[in-house]
Structure formats: C-alpha cells, structure tokens
Amino acid sequence: MRPNPDTSRPSSDTQDLIVVRAARGATRGTLHFGALRFPCALGRSGIVSEKREGDGGTPAGLWPLRDLRYRPDRVTAPETCLASAPTVENDGWCDAPGDSAYNLFVTRPYPASSETLWREDHLYDIVVMLGYNDAPVIDGAGSAIFFHLAKEKEGLLQPTEGCVALALDDMRAVLTKVTPHTRMQIEFSDVD
C-alpha cells in the first residue's frame, strides 16, 4: 500500500514547491517556487513511485510541509510562518518498521531504531518534516522524508537518503516565502 499524497486544493494564492529531476542525473533536481529556481539534491535512488524503507528513493507526490526544527547552537531561527522549534540533543525520528512510533518523533535513546536529529554534520541544522506516510502511517513505506540542508562536495549537492535538500541560503530564501498551505510536489519530469 502506498501513502496517499495530499490531494486537497489550497487557496488560490498558495504556491507549491515543485521538485523535478534534473536531466543531468537522477540524484539532482531543481526546486521551483514561483519565479525562484534552486538546485536541489534528491535521494540516492532518484525519484520513486513506490517508496520502501531504506531504498534511498525520494517519493513522488504532493506532500504538506509539517514542523520545522533548527539547531540553535549553529543557526538562527529561520524566518518562516511554519511551526518551528529548536532541536534538542535527544530528539530522534523512529525508522523501525513494526514499532508503534514508526515515522514519528521520539526521544533518544529509544528502544527501536531511530535517527538522531542532532547530527554531527549540518544536514539537519534546518529540517522540515514532510507529510509523507503520516496520515495514516503505513508500516515499511518509508520514514523520515525531510526537506533539509544539502551536503556539498566539490561544488555539487550530494544525494540524500530519500529527502530533498537545498543549500543553506536557498533554504532560508524559500522558508521566508512559504505559507501554512504550501506543499512540496515531487515530480518525475526532467528539466535542463
């Protein structure tokens, strides 16, 4: 069973974030937001129609932007209308299929597998949880699909584990313009 994307229609003044795969590689994309265009990183398996836990795919569909977390010891709170809170050292996200907290926030240490949100690298210095596989949660259909900061190497954004990632300045620019109704549309179409 595949998680259901958001099919509701927002108010007419809402613009969605549109993510499309770049023609030059399955793990690279472009995020369109109105007139803005930003390079983005996609999952190591590219965009997928059927997401499974651990497959490295970025799920195609229309996903709401949920909560935002930021590392207060590294960045200032982003200017945004999204619900946001500082990350704390024991924040985690359960990625264990079969666990009652699968694809939910948890406090670490947690008895089942969970990802730490307080990372040594900078990927989650700003992180937005996407409304993927959360209404309802389907066991094994993928967890922790986030909109977060990209890792760069030699000027290129590096693939994610299934998320969508932007450079810090690009993320801040997007967050200032989103509304509570903004969603992320992840599409298969290629762009140049």
Q: Are strands 84-86 and 25-33 parallel, antiparallel or unpaired?
A: unpaired
| Per-residue pLDDT tens listing for the chain (192 residues) | 567 676 554 444 458 999 999 887 899 999 999 999 999 999 999 999 999 999 999 999 999 999 999 999 999 999 999 999 999 999 999 999 999 999 999 999 999 999 999 999 999 999 999 999 999 999 999 999 999 999 999 999 999 999 999 999 999 999 999 999 999 999 987 664
Name the pTM for this structure: 0.93
**Residue 64, strand partner residues:** 183
Domains of the chain (ranges; CATH) run 17-191 (2.40.440.10)
The Cα 50–Cα 2 span in angstroms is 7
**Residue environment code for 66-105, b if the CB has 16+ CB neighbours within 10 A, otherwise e:** eebbbbeeebeebebebebeebeeebbbbbbbebebbbbe
**Residue environment code for 121-142, b if the CB has 16+ CB neighbours within 10 A, otherwise e:** ebbbbbbbbbbbbbeebbeebb
Q: For residue 177, what is the enclosing H or E element?
A: helix 168-177
Nearest residue to 131 (alpha-carbon basis) of 96, 82, 75: 82
